[in-house]
Chain A
Amino acid sequence: GAGVSQSPSNKVTEKGKDVELRCDPISGHTALYWYRQSLGQGLEFLIYFQGNSAPDKSGLPSDRFSAERTGGSVSTLTIQRTQQEDSAVYLCASTFRIMTAAYQETQYFGPGTRLLVL
């Protein structure tokens, strides 16, 4: 299929371990978004990339979180020294976005990665 894919679909890890979550956007999409959804915090925006650049990283919950996007395509979200409060569903979305235009782009979401930190 040509949709957004995320891997792994589920991840169980022990507190203190590092995890890496991957997002493959739709081919040709310029913008990529990371969100997380948890019972306690609802839906949270984490970071977005336009191309390989992230204009603002302040949405990342702590300095244990980092994200990168290479080649304008695949993105990885890395959580170091995981804590139990990191348990959530991590969602990725992509869209074709033209920054200079008032373009009503639609975001296409992946199925999410369910992260459980024990």
Chain B
Amino acid sequence: ELKVEQNPLFLSMQEGKNYTIYCNYSTTSDRLYWYRQDPGKSLESLFVLLSNGAVKQEGRLMASLDTKARLSTLHITAAVHDLSATYFCAVEGDDKIIFGKGTRLHILP
């Protein structure tokens, strides 16, 4: 059974600092997704990762995938307040997509 564990669940950090969100999953998967959700809003797709060693970057966010370790990371560089949101990872396998519980990120000015 595919399970996804995301941590931390809550993260409060200062502007300008770096931090990493981790996403572990239990079985082989076809795709790994990262999403952002602002309060009261729908989901926004950030990254789709397919292959081992894949790395994608968009602005201050960088996602990577290690399929051997069954681990993806979302790294935040020099955080700014606008990045405050909830971030979800999700793993696709066997025609299903399983989500992590989300990381609520609060960036303090």
| B99 and A56 within 8 A (CB) | no
Query: Is B48 engaged at the interface, CB distance under 8 Å to the other chain?
Result: yes
**Of all chain A residues, which has the CB nearest B48?**
A104
- Mark each residue of chain B from 17 to 37: 1 if its CB lies under 8 Å from any CB of chain A, else 0: 000000000000000010000
Say which size band chain B's interface belongs to: 20 to 34
| A107 and B42 within 8 A (CB) | no
| A102 and B99 within 8 A (CB) | no
**Of all chain A residues, which has the CB nearest B51?**
A102
Query: Is A93 engaged at the interface, CB distance under 8 Å to the other chain?
Result: yes
Query: Given A43-B102, A102-B50, A107-B33, do A56 and B96 touch, yes or no (CB 8 Å)?
Result: yes
Residues of A within 8 A of B48 (CB): 104-107
Pick the contact of A93: B43, B94, B95, B101 (CB < 8 A): B43
| A106 and B45 within 8 A (CB) | yes
| A45 and B44 within 8 A (CB) | no
Pick the contact of A45: B50, B99, B102 (CB < 8 A): B99
| A45 and B42 within 8 A (CB) | no
Query: Is A68 engaged at the interface, CB distance under 8 Å to the other chain?
Result: no
Query: Given A42-B101, A42-B102, do A59 and B45 touch, yes or no (CB 8 Å)?
Result: no
| B43 and A91 within 8 A (CB) | yes
**Residue picked from B44, B90, B99, most chain A C-beta under 10 Å:** B99
Query: Is A109 engaged at the interface, CB distance under 8 Å to the other chain?
Result: yes
Query: Is B85 engaged at the interface, CB distance under 8 Å to the other chain?
Result: no
What is the bound-complex CA distance between A104 and B55, given in angstroms?
Answer: 12
Query: Is A110 engaged at the interface, CB distance under 8 Å to the other chain?
Result: yes
| B42 and A42 within 8 A (CB) | no
Query: Is B97 engaged at the interface, CB distance under 8 Å to the other chain?
Result: yes
B residues neighboring A (CB under 8 Å): 33, 41-45, 48-51, 88, 90, 94-99, 101-102
A residues neighboring B (CB under 8 Å): 33, 35, 42-45, 48, 55-56, 58-59, 91, 93, 102, 104-112
